Structure 1
Amino acid sequence: MRLFAAVLPPPTAVDELGLAVERLTSLPGTDRLRWTGRDGWHFTLAFMGEVDDGLLPELHERLGRAARRTVPFALRIHRGGRFGHRALWAGAAGGLEELRLLAERADAAARRAGVTMEEHRRYQAHLTLARSRDDADMRPFVEALDAFEGTPWEVAELALVRSNLPVSGVEGEQPRYEIVGSWPLGRGTG
């Protein structure tokens, strides 16, 4: 199964961001973007790709340890950015150091559980809002997000999410996400 570790924003944060994204979709050029659905908004910590079912017990155990070693922290959705002409994203503010540490711990947990991971890169907190169909100019969308400041919430959980890729071939179909495990943060060092 195709898995990733993530922090999931609460419904109130998703609703706030949703209002900002609704305004973005009225800008010129929006038809050149594939917008992600609200139910798919998350901060990926560690993308694992295809994971053999036999690794799941060890992966669950190690992700649980990573969560227990990380204290809950405040986070908010903040402004936006882009990866070239490929993706538009919302950023984060608040406990960025704690979020980065949780991402590193989730990555290490997956590696130690035997998951083949991509080359390790410096973590950049982002929540993907849209992807370009054809190298669209993302600058107007980033500028429109410049003033976005979400309400802080407490990150209290690490989630393991299964990504079910579209199979119907219907244009615009989104991946479906399913939580297959979650662990509370800060419950000791065990």
Structure 2
Amino acid sequence: MRLFAALLPPPAAMAELTAGLGPLYRLPGARDLRWTAPEGWHYTLAFLGEVPDTLRPDLDERLARAARRHEPCALRISGGGRFGDRALWAGAEGDVRAAGALAATVRAAARRAGAPVDEEHGFRAHLTLARTSRGAPVDLRPFAAALGGFRGARWTATDLSLVASLLPRSGIPGERSHYTVVGSWPLGGPADAAPGRGAAGGAG
């Protein structure tokens, strides 16, 4: 199962950003972008890749300990940018350093459990909003500029979530991956795992 650890924005924050994206949908080239669904927006702390089921008990226990060592993070969705001509993203402000410290602890915990942690990409607080399609190049600079003034309301990330990424299987062009929360632990709280929260469509 392909897994990653993340902080998930609350519904109110996602609704704010959805409203803020309205003008971007009218920019030239917007229809050629593959926009992600709000249900899939997340701040990735660590991408673990394919994790065997046999590792899950130890991984879950270590992630629970990692969550307990860190306090909740006060954040807000703010600004935006792009990864070259590949992806458009919204940023964050607030306790970003604290989120980065949590990410480092999560990566260490996953490594000790034997999970294949992606070491190539370090933590960078961002929500992926859209990706370009092959054969349909889009200049993302106007989109990133339009996001520059966005600043959502403050919210608190209270849980560390372990999410399964389910790749499309239908073969239908444009179908998104689906995300399912398979574990959740309170930051600064007890180490007991909460049950998974169900599937959500989208990509982040």
TM-score bin (small chain): over 0.9
Gapped runs of 5+ residues in structure 2?
A: 192-204
- Please report the TM-score for the alignment, with normalisation by the length of structure 1: 0.96
Task: State the partner residue of 1:75.
Answer: 75
Write the mapping of 1:31-46 to structure 2, written as runs, cut at 5 A.
31-46=31-46
**What is the alpha-carbon distance in structure 2 between the residues aligned to residue 50 and residue 188 of structure 1?**
27
Q: Deviations over 1:76-117 (max 9, x none)?
A: 000000000000000000001111011111111111100122
Q: Percent identity?
A: 56
Q: Deviations over 1:15-52 (max 9, x none)?
A: 00011123211111112210001111111110011100
CA RMSD of aligned residues (A): 1.3
Offset at residue 187 of structure 1 (A): 2.2
Q: Deviations over 1:54-91 (max 9, x none)?
A: 00000100100110000112000000000000000000
CA contact (8 A) 1:69 1:188 kept: no
Q: Do structure 1's residue 154 and structure 2's residue 156 form an aligned pair?
A: yes
Task: State the partner residue of 1:92.
Answer: 92
- Point out 4+ residue stretches in structure 1 off by more than 2 angstroms: 118-122
**What is the alpha-carbon distance in structure 2 between the residues aligned to residue 101 and residue 89 of structure 1?**
21
Task: State the partner residue of 1:187.
Answer: 189
Task: State the partner residue of 2:201.
Answer: none
Q: Answer with 87-96 or 114-123: which moved more.
A: 114-123
**What is the alpha-carbon distance in structure 2 between the residues aligned to residue 48 and residue 91 of structure 1?**
22
Gapped runs of 5+ residues in structure 1?
A: none
Query: Structure 1 residues 120, 108: CA separation in 2 closer, same or farther (over 3 Å shift)?
Result: farther
Tell me the matched-pair count: 189
Helix, strand or coil: the match of 2:26? coil
Query: Structure 1 residues 188, 170: CA separation in 2 closer, same or farther (over 3 Å shift)?
Result: closer
